[in-house]
Structure 1
Amino acid sequence: MSAPSGDRPHHSADTRPLLIVDGANVVGSVPDGWWRDRRGAAERLRSRLESIAVRGLEGLPGPLEVVLVVEGRARGVEASEHVRVVDAPAVGDDTIVDVVADSDPHRDRIVVTADRELRARIARLGARAIGPAAIPR
């Protein structure tokens, strides 16, 4: 289930690495017609993230806590068993920064994005970034 607009994530005792996915950036990294059905593209991404939450990524063993941030016409995607979905009320980057800021700073926090400005913003909060190519197709 998506977090209602205005809901902000909160600190938890979870020690798994936190993987925050910039949905618009990852979906937009491959010109496969995603713009015709933004929500459908976000749902397909969420499905791909499901196995990543359990098994991890290369260099980042699972299990992971996975948060998919969606914006615009992609909002309304339901969460799945292992992927939490957060609807950005406005700019997705701001919501991603909020998720990072509201998480335990002692956890490994990784944001999947190619956006340079977002990478700089989350680095100031102690998180690191990896590119969209890290998410298998």
Structure 2
Amino acid sequence: MADPVRRDPNDAWVECTCGSRHWGLAGAAGLALVDRATRTVALQLRSARSHQGSTWALPGGAIGTGETPLQGALREASEEADIRADDVVPDVVSVLDHEVWSYTTVVAHVARDASATSRPVLRPLDGESADLRWVDLDEVTDLPLHPAFATAWPRLRVLADAGPTLVVDVSNVLGARPDGWWRDRAGASSRLLAEIGTAVSPSGPGVPAAWFGLDAATAWPRTVAVLEGAARDATTTVPAPGARFEVVRAPGSGDDAIVAAVEAVTADGSGPVVVATADRGLQGRLPPGVRTLGPGTLRKRILEA
């Protein structure tokens, strides 16, 4: 049975402590791209000539030299299925870590704006794909799956529905650190928004998926930052292409705007939701199941971005 094509120094087998050998000296990565409109996921039928061929799995392969796992997953999806990076909005990453080797699964959804009516057309561009197909999320297990993918799928199936959202009580987060923010509330809010935007951008480091109760490593949540009072004059820019970052300038009570934002997310079935605030009064108004995050925990993470 033929080895995968070697295109990079990292394209080689690793003899793993688990007793198996795995492809990719720097680990491997795959893309679980979900179309939420049709509740399907893009799968690849591996070539019969490949390792454990004639089974269905995710587009993926060895992480290249200098690549992050996200970059590697996107490149492999492009090379094997003609999925463009612009079609992909990452949600979370799940990591299978064998110490000497790891596999990172990027769980993402299809990017759609108001004018988009269709999902990407999957096309095999190399010899590694015998077929490509959008498969109903609830019918994946009906296919002959690659053994490792079959083991991972129950956890990935949960993550496919995740869609995490982070709502930030900007005034409360600012007030948690006495750094003189009150002398220029709009300026301090602008800086905080920039820090948050950098962290949650698809090109940024993301935030811990554990914040959202997810069995995964990292999340890039949709983020809603709520401003009130003098902070409404804060300046904002889109952090990066593909960033789902919304700023709400509350006309009155910031707490009212936060509750409304959370209720809108939970009403359409999205979730889980985390609100960054230490305001106990606000916490008591949130719908059941909504998690809260301390301002200090948020600031520590975003300052590392």
Name the structure with the higher strand share. 2
Give TM class, smaller chain.
0.7 to 0.9
Partner of 1:115: 279
- Residue pair 1:23, 1:69 contacting (<8 A) in 2 also: yes
Q: Does the CA-based 8 Å contact 1:27-1:42 persist in structure 2?
A: yes
- Please report the TM-score for the alignment, with normalisation by the length of structure 1: 0.81
Structure 2 equivalent of residue 62 of structure 1 = 219
Change (3 A) 1:29 1:20: same
TM-score scaled by structure 2?
Answer: 0.38
The structure number with the bigger radius of gyration is: 2
1:125 offset after TM fit, Å? 4.4
Question: Per-residue displacement from partner, 1:92-116 (whole Å, max 9, x unpaired)?
Answer: 0110000001113441110000001
Instruction: Give the drift of 1:56.
Output: 2.6
One-letter amino acid matched to 2:251: P
If each structure's helix is expressed as a fraction of its own residues, which one has the higher value? 1
Give me the whole-angstrom Cα distance separating, in 1, the residues matched to 2:166 and 2:207: 10
State the one-letter code of the partner of 2:187: G
The runs of 5 or more residues in structure 2 that have no matched partner are: 1-35, 38-108, 110-161, 212-217
Work out whether 1:89 is the aligned partner of 2:258: no
Count of matched residue pairs: 125
Alpha-carbon distance in structure 2 between the residues aligned to 1:56 and 1:41: 22
Between the aligned partners of 1:76 and 1:35, the Cα distance in structure 2 is 14
The residue number in structure 1 matching 2:19 is none
CA shift for structure 1 position 117: 1.2
Residue 126 (structure 1) aligned to one of 254, 276, 289: 289
Question: In the alignment, which residue of structure 1 is the partner of 2:186?
Answer: 39
1:106/1:65 CA distance change after superposition, 3 Å? closer
Identical amino acids, percent of aligned pairs? 39
Gaps spanning 5+ residues in structure 1: where?
Answer: 1-11
Supply the AA of the counterpart residue of 2:173: V
